[in-house]
Amino acid sequence: MLRTIKSFLLVFAVVLFAQSCADRLDLQPEDNRLSADAAFEDPDAYKQFLAKIYAGISLSGQEGPAGYPDLAGLDEGFSNYLRLYWKMQELTTDEAIIAWNDGTIHDLHNQVWTSGNEFIRTMYSRLLYQVALCNEFLRQTTDGKLDGRGVSSELRTEIQTFRAEARFMRALTYWHAMDLYANPPFITENDPIGAFLPPQIQRADLFNYVESELLDIMDNMAAPRANEYGRADRAAAWMLLAKIYLNAEVYTGTSRYADVITYTNNIIGAGYTIPSIPYFHSFLADNDSNGAEDEVIFTIPFDGLRTQAFGGMTFLTHAPVGGSMDPSEFGINGGWFGVRTTPTFVEKFPGEENSNDGRELFYTDGQNKDILTVATFTDGYAIAKYRNVDVNGNPGSDTTGDHTDIDFPMFRLADAYLMYAEAVLRGGGGSMGTAVDYINELRVRAYGGTSGNISQADLDLDFILDERARELYWEAHRRTDLIRFDQFSDNGVWQWKGGVQSGTTTDAFRDVMPLPATDLGINTNLEQNPGY
């Protein structure tokens, strides 16, 4: 899949150019520019286009690592989808804080952002760009288009699977938009191209759309674990459904916990396993082959030679390294002295930095637990979760030490186990005994035995929220979790929340991000979210 990305970039640019011209004038170009149909004369172009959609999360532009960005207005490395999404989900919480003073980045952790925040604006733009990619793929693969190009029946069958995957990727993007911005602009392949102001969709309506899309594509998705590595299959669609159902009460006001049980059961029965390897192996450079892949339901692949960008896993490996940390132990050429964690997160682990829980990966040499000065990297414990070395300590494929081979586990079985347990506790059905068994399977891996096991009496919602932090930290779940548990804004305190060292609560309207002021000034169909 990675090899197809670069060769598609020119094809994609040609398709968009030709399509936009054709919508304005029914003329053929007099020079050598390709039309959209000519661009798809190569049957491989369809898969190459799909590869660009998947790469929309990992890459930031057309050349890599920089030089021809997808988006203008922010440094290309900063504008990467995964890097931005991670910042929205982690820097706004107790799990992460950043030393840098780039623009308004501190406003994220401080929870004092405005509609002019450039990181919030660029995340919004990245989401809309990703939706546009998916929409264009669907426009270019209608029956009418395929008939006109004389596409073979064999390729048509494959394209139907591609279309289902493109719709999955669009649903994933709209879930992120729904979760972050609540009421974003809404556009599909049926809307016009060009000078068009998209209508605004309300959160509950977008929930219904995402749900209906996922249900509709299910039969055309590959069976669980039957697709190419890095491509979505039916289990990924089940997981996304379970995610929106878990948060349905936030999104729509109506709980759907019984549906969480249904779809997590589907996933758990699909052959994924918690591997018998140490927890930290799941975040190494060979996590596509060291056994960690047996747990992963949907991954974002990275390759130090083929997916070079200064966002994604390059950011998540370099930015947390600083102070006395040795970059060579992380398989990189240097640390960026940026991200570390707060005392509130440290205290989730019994024994803190001396915990018997193997998921505790704090680096404390020369680091202070308390954060007196945000800009000082050594204030706050560092986290050594992502390391660009294999299980034997060998560095990744990029010998310069810039880019990493670590794949990002967007959905994995441990999350499904925890979602099942939470849904049981919230009255969705299922079995408390089974929920405890699932939790203990994770804790056996964490503790290397049964010493950390819990009983049914230990399992409550407070435990689930803390266990999700211990198991899934820095995997872009925390903001959504805290909001669901009502601990993000007007409840829950950690250092520097609210812009004060001891931390303070903030207004509840911050559970939703603002629509960017720049878009409100252009699109008269949009109304700002309350509080902004």
Domain residue limits, the chain: 43-220+496-506+515-531, 223-301+407-488, 316-383
Structure-model confidence comparison of residues 105 and 9, the more confident one: 105
Domains 43-220+496-506+515-531 and 223-301+407-488 share a fold: yes
Rounded average pLDDT over 428-439: 98
Q: pLDDT digit string (tens) for 500-520?
A: 999 999 999 999 999 999 999
- Give the pLDDT of residue 31: 45
Q: Whose CA is closest to 87, among 429, 367, 316?
A: 316
Q: How confident is the model at residue 20 (pLDDT cuts 50, 70, 90)?
A: very low
State which CATH number among 2.40.37.10, 1.10.3780.10, 3.90.1170.50, 2.60.40.1220 fits the domain covering 316-383.
1.10.3780.10
- Give the pLDDT of residue 60: 82
CATH 3.30.70.260 fits 43-220+496-506+515-531, yes or no: no
CA gyration radius, the chain: 23
- Cα dihedral 171/176/179/185 (nearest 10): -70
What tokens were used for 272? 């994924």
- The fold adopted by the segment(s) 223-301+407-488 is 1.25.40
Rounded average pLDDT over 2-11: 42
Bridge partners, 61 (sequence order): 69
The overall average pLDDT reported for the chain is 92
* The one-letter amino acid at 520: L
Q: How confident is the model at residue 17 (pLDDT cuts 50, 70, 90)?
A: very low
Residue with tokens 């000519």: 38
DSSP 437-456: HHHHHHHHHHHTSGGG---G
Structure-model confidence comparison of residues 71 and 89, the more confident one: 89
DSSP class of 78: T
- Give the pLDDT of residue 448: 98
CB atoms within 10 A of CB 519: 18
Structure-model confidence comparison of residues 193 and 175, the more confident one: 175
Beta strand pairing call for 362-363 and 97-98: unpaired
- Give the pLDDT of residue 113: 98
Q: Residue 76 pLDDT more than 80? A: no
- Spatial contact of 394 and 400, defined as CB atoms under 8 Å apart: no
Percent of the chain with pLDDT over 90: 86
Phi then psi for residue 441, to 5 deg, are: -65, -40
Instruction: Report pTM.
Output: 0.94
Q: pLDDT digit string (tens) for 471-496?
A: 999 999 999 999 999 999 999 999 99
Bridge partners, 296 (sequence order): 412
N-terminal to C-terminal alpha carbon distance within the chain:
42
Q: Could you tell me which residues come within 8 angstroms of residue 253 by beta carbon, excluding any fewer than 6 positions away? A: 204
Q: pLDDT digit string (tens) for 397-407?
A: 999 999 999 99
What tokens were used for 509? 């309207």
DSSP class of 389: B
- Give the pLDDT of residue 16: 44
* The one-letter amino acid at 454: I
- Spatial contact of 417 and 442, defined as CB atoms under 8 Å apart: yes
Q: Whose CA is closest to 295, among 471, 416, 447, 438?
A: 416
